[in-house]
């Protein structure tokens, strides 16, 4: 059950809240957090202040943080990941904005982790879904299944990170900012090369119109001020239209909106008559499971997925073992 803010009210007209949220945004921007993380953290701090009758966080501490996080779990019935997200936002506020060290939050009632089996598609189901997708969405979905990349890793992929000679893809903007390598499927190489050739023509046209710059991390942009216009740094899956960066005011071609891919796959799953709750991330689960079914060892799969701990990868082995138990129903006997 998703959390619904039970303290919903009109946005308070308090200059102290506005000032604090502006300070929070500025600090997040200075530390190069993404706009998405910025919006999420600001929203959680706003909810925290509303929950405590609009008190300023400097007047509160660990007890109030524990009360809010426990409320999310007990009343809001949020997932463990949602509660951890709220906790991260508040810890960032106190440590990075208010310069206050909180003691360990022992009094928090933790949200329960959902113990559910991974959703994995069969190879036949993957084929049924992919054949019902078209255009860029189909190409990206095939790449996700063929490489094991997460959706955001796919849409943020840069041209220079596709190695056709070595049949490899370098994933740089992954979780934890730890790069890794994965395979480039041979069956996708020709379609991907054709796609990039068309994009290069588009990029050259953008340059001729005084545009053609792509977003780069701030430190990299300062070190290589002209790199944003270079072909190698462009997104493999750029947006159809150029847009203005809300932070810098520079007009750029951002990466593809991931929501369009999610909607396209949802339609394909429905049209294929598949009842599993499959999303683009399910293609990553299926990639790992199908590799294990083909006899690849767990360490190879761990490396391709970019998991820090082998225990995370073992989830796929557990799911595979459960499907292989082959127990006979007493009714069939």
- Tens-digit pLDDT profile for residues 74-116: 899 888 889 999 999 999 999 999 998 777 666 667 766 655 6
Beta carbons of 60 and 43 less than 8 angstroms apart: no
> So what's the pLDDT on residue 219?
82
In what helix (H) or strand (E) does residue 225 lie, and over which residues does it extend?
Answer: none
Q: Model confidence over 2-28: pLDDT tens digits?
A: 444 544 444 444 468 888 999 999 999
What is the set of domains in the chain, with CATH numbers? Answer: 15-97 (1.10.150.130), 123-203+235-321 (1.10.443.10)
Which residues lie below 8 Å from residue 17, measured CB to CB, with a gap of 6+? 46, 49, 54, 56
| Average pLDDT for 218-227 | 88
79: number of CA atoms within 13 Å, CB side? 9
């Amino acid at each position: 059950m998703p959390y619904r803010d039970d303290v919903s009210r009109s946005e308070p007209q308090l200059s102290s809240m506005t000032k604090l949220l502006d300070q929070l945004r500025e600090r997040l921007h200075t530390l190069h957090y993404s706009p998405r993380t910025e919006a999420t953290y600001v929203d959680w701090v706003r909810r925290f202040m509303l929950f405590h009758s609009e008190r300023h966080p400097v007047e509160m501490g660990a007890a109030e943080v524990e009360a809010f996080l426990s409320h999310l779990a007990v009343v809001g019935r949020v997932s463990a990941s949602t509660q951890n997200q709220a906790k991260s936002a508040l810890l960032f506020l106190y440590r990075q904005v208010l310069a206050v060290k909180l003691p360990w939050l022992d009094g928090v009632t933790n949200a329960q982790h959902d113990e559910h089996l991974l959703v994995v598609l069969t190879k036949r189901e993957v084929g049924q879904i992919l054949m019902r997708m078209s255009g860029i969405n189909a190409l990206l979905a095939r790449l996700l299944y063929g490489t094991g990349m997460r959706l955001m890793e796919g849409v943020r992929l840069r041209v220079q990170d596709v190695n056709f000679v070595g049949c490899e893809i370098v994933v740089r903007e992954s979780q934890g900012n730890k790069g890794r390598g994965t395979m480039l499927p041979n069956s996708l190489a020709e379609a991907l090369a054709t796609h990039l050739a068309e994009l290069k023509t588009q990029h050259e046209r953008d340059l001729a119109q005084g545009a053609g710059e792509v977003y780069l991390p701030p430190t990299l942009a300062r070190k290589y001020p002209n790199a944003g216009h270079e072909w190698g740094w462009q997104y493999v899956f750029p947006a159809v239209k150029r847009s203005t960066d809300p932070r810098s005011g520079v007009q750029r071609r951002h990466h593809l909106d991931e929501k369009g891919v999610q909607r396209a796959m949802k339609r394909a799953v429905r049209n294929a008559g598949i009842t599993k709750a499959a999303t683009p991330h399910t293609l990553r689960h299926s990639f790992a499971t199908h590799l294990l079914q083909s006899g690849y060892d767990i360490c190879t799969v761990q490396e391709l997925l970019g998991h820090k701990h082998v225990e995370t990868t073992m989830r796929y082995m557990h799911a595979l073992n459960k499907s292989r138990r082959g127990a006979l129903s007493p009714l069939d006997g």
